[in-house]
Amino acid sequence: MNLELLAPELSLAATAVVLILLDLFIERKGVLTVLSIIGLAVSAGFAIALWGTSQAAFNGMLSVDNFALFFKLLFLGIAALIILASVDYAPKFSRFQGEYHALIVLSALGMMLMAASAELITIYIALELASISLYVLAGFLKDPKSTESSIKYLLLGATSSAVLLYGMALVFGSTGTTQLAEISQAVQNLGATGVGDNPALMLGAVLLIAGFGFKIAAVPFQMWVPDVYEGAPTPITGYLSVASKAAGFAIILRVFFSAFGTPEWLSMNWGLVFAALAAIGMTVGNISALPQINIKRMFGYSSIAQAGYLLVGLAAMGVGAATSTLNQSTVMFFLLSYSMANLGAFIAIIAITNKINSDLIEDFSGMSKRAPVLALGLTLCLISLIGMPPAAGFMAKFYIFSGAVQSDLLWLVIIAVINSVISAFYYLRVVKVMWLGEPASTEKVPSSGALRVALAITCLGVLFLGILPGLAIKGAEFAAKMFGS
């Protein structure tokens, strides 16, 4: 048992416990924000110190490699930005501040374990740790909408967990092991005809896709997204749309690359499943986003569409040579740039909706005069989500689409590009309302220093990834290469 391999997770768990205890005994709740940021930073420090190791821990249940560490750092960063952005929002729930911060930290912990787990049961436990924290967070406002979103998320999430477990049981029954590496071995021993004669194994793999598809909000498992996004507290909506999705993709990459990645006839099959999901997801997401008048609902549908673009990368990974790590690194780069852009947009939305007390897009009218910096940041992030240069989204889409073209998925790329054009309509509508609309009042929109810092970090990140993507893509490539054991 090698506990230092688990140092980032252990320190984060300790942070959560200290947060809960401290909340009971202190009156000044601002300390909680500082403490959570420190805890996340310490955990990130441990993760950076582990960079470069590649080994299995706890009898192969967790694998500590650069792939996992890349995602751990991503989740820690996202959680820190969300906590910074919550500073303006937290007074809305004055009673449960300690729990709020602790639950964000705990769900980040669950996601970190998800990225590292190399065994089906560990995957499930990590997934539940992340999800249950999020179910509670979604209902934190205690108004009817928030409660509805929490209940819907809980019920549908439990169903998807059941589907996932059923898939795991079938895979375990057909291969006799829960270790991803051993599943891969068993599948290769079965051979093409052996797998063809084993419908239970194929059904298991499909149910795994369905279970994980819920997490990443792939169509047709997206029904929960709009309602949950609308009702949940805005920082949690941002957290859901970014971290939960990234964790889902981390686990899909790990499972389908480690367990079903080789040989090629096998990866080809699930690659095509992902290609179909991508095509439906992009189209449904974008077309449903068009008529939305509530900005949080619009972002819900937009995140479904973004999951579709990401699935293009997964499809390319399966259909192309699965041994090459190029497509993994493009998916990781897309996740990084999507996280930056979406978080930035949500941070700006938190500040604006806090002031105007409405989530309707029309109420954003003339925001460029009332809050020029926020409007500028939101515009930059929206441009990145469309995929226009110089923002990060352009490079991310460019990498993913070129990977798909190299894997002979030209039809999918054509659908994706058409969808990007459709998406420009509803993203730019927000920009138009903000810059060309008449302001409803001349009152400035206030924002705290912490929120401005968070917005600055995301906007700089978006620009940095867009103009100098080389460093990040190198890091992602390196992380995907070390994707061992």
User: CA distances (Å), 372 to each of 85, 285, 359, 442, 450, in order?
Assistant: 18, 30, 19, 12, 17
Nearer to another protein, 172 or 435 (CB): 172
Instruction: Say whether the peptide bond before residue 220 is cis (omega within 30 degrees of 0).
Output: yes
Quote the tokens at residue 91: 């007074």
DSSP-based helix, strand, coil % in the chain, nearest 5? 80, 0, 20
CA–CA dist 251, 216 (Å, integer): 10
CB of 2 to another protein, least distance (A): 15
CB of 25 to another protein, least distance (A): 7
Nearer to another protein, 17 or 155 (CB): 17
Phi (first) and psi of residue 162, to 5 degrees: -65, -45
Spatial contact of 423 and 289, defined as CB atoms under 8 Å apart: yes
Nearer to another protein, 20 or 151 (CB): 20
Spatial contact of 229 and 349, defined as CB atoms under 8 Å apart: no
3 binds another protein (CB under 8 A): no
Which residues neighbour 447 within 8 Å (Cβ) at sequence distance 6 or greater? 88, 351, 371, 374, 455
Nearer to another protein, 140 or 229 (CB): 140
Spatial contact of 238 and 348, defined as CB atoms under 8 Å apart: no
Nearer to another protein, 156 or 169 (CB): 169
CB of 125 to another protein, least distance (A): 16
Of 202, 222, 223, 225, whose CA–CA distance to 213 is shortest? 222
Quote the tokens at residue 221: 């498992």
Quote the tokens at residue 421: 């054009």
Which one-letter amino acid corresponds to residue 435? W
CB of 133 to another protein, least distance (A): 16
CB of 167 to another protein, least distance (A): 22
CB of 114 to another protein, least distance (A): 22
CA–CA dist 36, 39 (Å, integer): 5
Number of chain residues interacting with another protein (CB under 8 A) = 5
CB of 242 to another protein, least distance (A): 29
CB of 107 to another protein, least distance (A): 18
CB of 1 to another protein, least distance (A): 10
Which one-letter amino acid corresponds to residue 376? L
Task: Show contacts with another protein in window 13-32 (CB under 8 A).
Answer: 17, 20-21, 24-25
Q: Which residues of 452-484 are buried (b: 16+ CB within 10 A; e: fewer)?
A: bebbebbbebbbebbeebeebbebbbbbbebbe
In the chain, the largest separation of any two C-alpha atoms, in whole Å, equals 71
Nearer to another protein, 200 or 468 (CB): 200
DSSP-derived letter for residue 117 is B
Nearer to another protein, 1 or 193 (CB): 1
Spatial contact of 332 and 422, defined as CB atoms under 8 Å apart: no
CB of 187 to another protein, least distance (A): 19
Q: 75: burial class by Cβ within 10 Å (0-12, 13-18, 19+)? A: buried
Binding site for another protein (CB under 8 A): 17, 20-21, 24-25
